[in-house]
Amino acid sequence: MKTLRLTSTDKTLLLDSRFFARLPRPTAETIVEGAIVSTHEEHDILFRQDEPIDHVFFVLSGLVRLYRLGKDGREADVAVLPKGEIFGANAMFLEHRATANAQAAEALIVARFESHKLRQLAAENTEVAQALIELLCRYGKMTEDCLAEDRLLTAPQRVANYILSHCPDGLSSFSFRLPFQKNVLAGKLGLAPEALSRAFSTLRQSGVTVKGRVIEIRDRQALERF
Amino acid sequence: MKTLRLTSTDKTLLLDSRFFARLPRPTAETIVEGAIVSTHEEHDILFRQDEPIDHVFFVLSGLVRLYRLGKDGREADVAVLPKGEIFGANAMFLEHRATANAQAAEALIVARFESHKLRQLAAENTEVAQALIELLCRYGKMTEDCLAEDRLLTAPQRVANYILSHCPDGLSSFSFRLPFQKNVLAGKLGLAPEALSRAFSTLRQSGVTVKGRVIEIRDRQALERF
DNA sequence: AAAGTTATTTGATCGGGGTCAATTTGTATC
DNA sequence: GATACAAATTGACCCCGATCAAATAACTTT
């Protein structure tokens, strides 16, 4: 882990992100000025479940995986966060304890903010509180979606869903590049890598072609029906 | 569904609940005065997924089940809320759309608050915003717990966990009465009723006895090890 | 381009839990 | 208490996905 200075692109990314964009410019800038930037290598742990943390994190580039550990050491992802996402915010209101482990899923740069300052700000400033509320709602809905998908859909259906979520509406055939390793996708969908692989090959019969990280869809409707 | 007046016990329950208790008394009382109380029979639907809702709900008595529907009509519970819990709050910040269906899991009395008023209040009053933030964090953590349990634990382990969560620490043997039908417990744990039944009988060998709704635990450690 | 890693795929096997059907138990009503 | 109905259990069966092992593909590094 190495500490860096906040570049102007970082600053732009922060200020344009969903969270900061809805704050009054001066407020956002004040917070952003206080950021500490650091780089991490794949597999680095940022913090551990139940550990006290005193920062809120923002992904400047790369990918973070939040996961829980089972007694037997098995891991279960509860979220995968790409560039532009915030994490660790909920800990501010849960005795400053992380609810999950955070690990760099690939080379990573994060900005961090002191949570007591942010918490204080949220207590004084309605705008900040509002932004936090929306953040938490969105995050809560994501987790709920995940839980429901796990309980309702088979592996191929989850994968089909994931693919469709990347399809701009209207198009019937399209292709895109996976934003991360299949490894990570598997975890995010609650599958073993082998199961993801098999799901892809099941979807072949519905017009899905996989070449490396590139996914090609021939027939959107077929996927939706799956 | 029948509309009732707010009784003084209802009022006490509301004001002593986690959400209202942390607000300044006058604020809490103002909100609570605006409550509309209604009764519902088991199986009644309060609102449906993706439907616009303009109220936030509070369980005065009985039980509410929040669940999502699969394409095939199967149901997946995302939360089960007993007396004292709030639900529908997240919709205020998600275009007023419910993220799940809400159904009375048994005879039910709820208080409801107009969400635009509450939202307005949260936008002006930091205390209210703060209370909402904590509510959402707690709720988010619950969902996360659920997701992780689903992915990490087998049916008997989930049931063991559930039982342990009702065991006052320090005690090695104890017994309690399930707060709802096994039916509902199964759904909450993401299991078919049959699987719950089988899980109980697996746990018999670890000193768990089930007689109707009463669960008896002979050896806490054995359960924890499971 | 070759060698060495690290991902991914494929095959084989196995166990958990869903579903359906048939009892059994529990609860409510008269 | 006897009857009727709903809830819970048990058995039989099957499918999905985890796991282990082996083969192949995709990157790195030189």
Q: What is the pLDDT of residues A139-150, one digit of tens each?
A: 999 999 999 999
The separation, in Å, between residue A181 CA and nucleotide D29 C1' comes to 21
Model pLDDT, residue A52:
96
Sign, CA torsion B153/B155/B157/B163: positive
- For B151, the closest chain A residue by CA position comes to A76
Asked if B85 and A132 touch (Cβ cutoff 8 Å), the reply is no
Judging contacts by C-beta atoms under 8 Å, the chain B residues touching residue A143 are 140, 143-144, 147
Q: Please give the structure tokens belonging to residue B159.
A: 């049931």
Topology, domain A155-225: Arc Repressor Mutant, subunit A (1.10.10)
pLDDT at B1 over 80: no
Provide, rounded to the nearest whole percent, the portion of chain B with pLDDT above 70. Answer: 100
Q: Cα–Cα–Cα angle for B120, B124, B126, nearest 5°?
A: 120
Model pLDDT, residue B68:
97
Written out in words, the top-level CATH class of the domain with range B2-141 is mainly beta
* Distance separating alpha carbons of residues A66 and A89, to the nearest angstrom: 13
Q: Per-residue confidence at B13, pLDDT binned at 50, 70, 90?
A: very high
CB contact under 8 A, B136 and A136: yes
Cβ within 8 Å of residue B82, ≥6 positions away: B59, B63, B179, B180
Model pLDDT, residue A166:
93
Residues of chain A with CATH 2.60.120.10: 2-142
Cβ within 8 Å of residue A219, ≥6 positions away: A172, A173, A206, A207
Least confident of A160-174, B49-63, B76-90, B112-126: A160-174
Residue B192 CB neighbour total at 10 angstroms: 11
Q: Is residue B52 packed enough to be buried (19+ CB in 10 Å), middle (13-18) or exposed (0-12)?
A: exposed
Asked if A22 and A28 touch (Cβ cutoff 8 Å), the reply is no
Q: Per-residue confidence at A226, pLDDT binned at 50, 70, 90?
A: confident
**Cα distance from A86 to chain B (closest Cα, Å)?**
14
Question: Residue B140 — φ and ψ, nearest 5°?
Answer: -60, -40
Query: Which CATH number is associated with domain A2-142?
Result: 2.60.120.10
Model pLDDT, residue A173:
87
Question: What letter would DSSP give residue B73?
Answer: S
Residues making up chain A, counted from first to last = 226
Nearest by CB to B137, from A93, A126, A130: name it.
A93
Interhelix angle for B126-152 vs A115-124, to 10°? 130
Q: B142 at the A interface (CB within 8 A)?
A: no
Nearest by CB to B124, from A90, A126, A138: name it.
A126
Residues of chain A with CATH 1.10.10.10: 155-225
SS3 B217: strand
Residues of chain B with CATH 2.60.120.10: 2-141
| Strand C contacted by A198 CB (< 7 A) | yes
Model pLDDT, residue B171:
83
Protein residues contacting strand D, judged by Cβ under 7 Å: A 74, 153-156, 190-192, 194-195, 199, 211-213; B 181-183, 193-194, 196-198, 200-201, 210, 213
pLDDT at B45 over 90: yes
B107-122 per-position pLDDT tens digit:
999 999 999 999 999 9
- Which site among B71, B137, B149, B157 would you substitute to test the A interface, given the most A Cβ atoms closer than 10 Å to its Cβ? B137
- SS3 string, A63-83, reads EEEEEEECCCCCEEEEEEEEC
SS3 B77: strand
List, as one string, the DSSP characters of B152-181: H--HHHHHHHHHHTTSPTT-SSEEEE-SS-
* Strand B108-114 relative to strand B55-61, pairing: antiparallel
* Distance separating alpha carbons of residues B6 and B15, to the nearest angstrom: 12
Q: Please give the structure tokens belonging to residue B135.
A: 């509510």
What order of strands is seen across the sheet that includes strand A208-211?
A: A174-177, A214-217, A208-211
Identify which of B171, B163, B173 has the alpha carbon closest to the alpha carbon of residue B226.
Answer: B163
Q: Alpha helix locations (H) across B35-125? A: 115-124
Q: Which residues numbered 96-135 in B keep a CB inside 8 Å of some CB on A?
A: 99-100, 122-126, 129-130, 132-134
Question: What letter would DSSP give residue B226?
Answer: -
Q: B68 at the A interface (CB within 8 A)?
A: yes
| Strand C contacted by B62 CB (< 7 A) | no
